[in-house]
Amino acid sequence: MTRNTEHKKGQNKMITAYKIFWAIATPTKGIATKKDGTKFSKQGWARVNYKTNQKAVSCFLRHASDLKKLKESCKVEGLEKAYDILIITDKQFGLMQQYNYNEVATAKQKSGIFSIGK
């Protein structure tokens, strides 16, 4: 899977699905608050609500082609809850079902999960 993008000199540059990254922020306990949702959305994150085994779950998603910029966007100030951040590739995101990132994330990615907020 590749995407065409315009290069600075007008040439097409191919970006593979392995060089586009997604950050998934999930609350460590419970469901995300509306205030936290507003703070995430102001920084370009999208909120996703879904159910697993009759349990309501919410998470926030953000993607970028630059891993450094994506990690910088994870610095959300003044959150009411703690959130775990996992970074996966676009290819893994496409393979994921029901936002179950555990089935697509590698052991190295899982060990790289970091927390933000309280």
> For 56-100, what is each residue's pLDDT tens digit?
778 899 988 888 888 888 888 899 999 999 999 999 988 988 778
Give the pTM.
Answer: 0.78
Tally of CB atoms within 10 A around 26 = 17
Domains contained in the chain, number: 1
- Asked if residue 28 lies in contact with residue 114, where contact means CB atoms within 8 angstroms, the answer is no
**Dihedral, 68, 74, 77, 82 alpha carbons, nearest 10:** -140
Residues 6+ apart with CB under 8 A from 107: none
Per-residue pLDDT tens digits for 38-59:
999 998 999 988 777 667 778 8
The domain containing residue 105 runs over which residues? 2-117
The yes-or-no verdict on residue 7 having pLDDT over 70 is no
Tell me the two tokens of residue 5. 């993008």
Dump the DSSP string for 24-84: EEEESSS---HHHHHHHHHTT-EEEEEEETTEEEEEEEEEES-HHHHHHHT---S-SSEEE
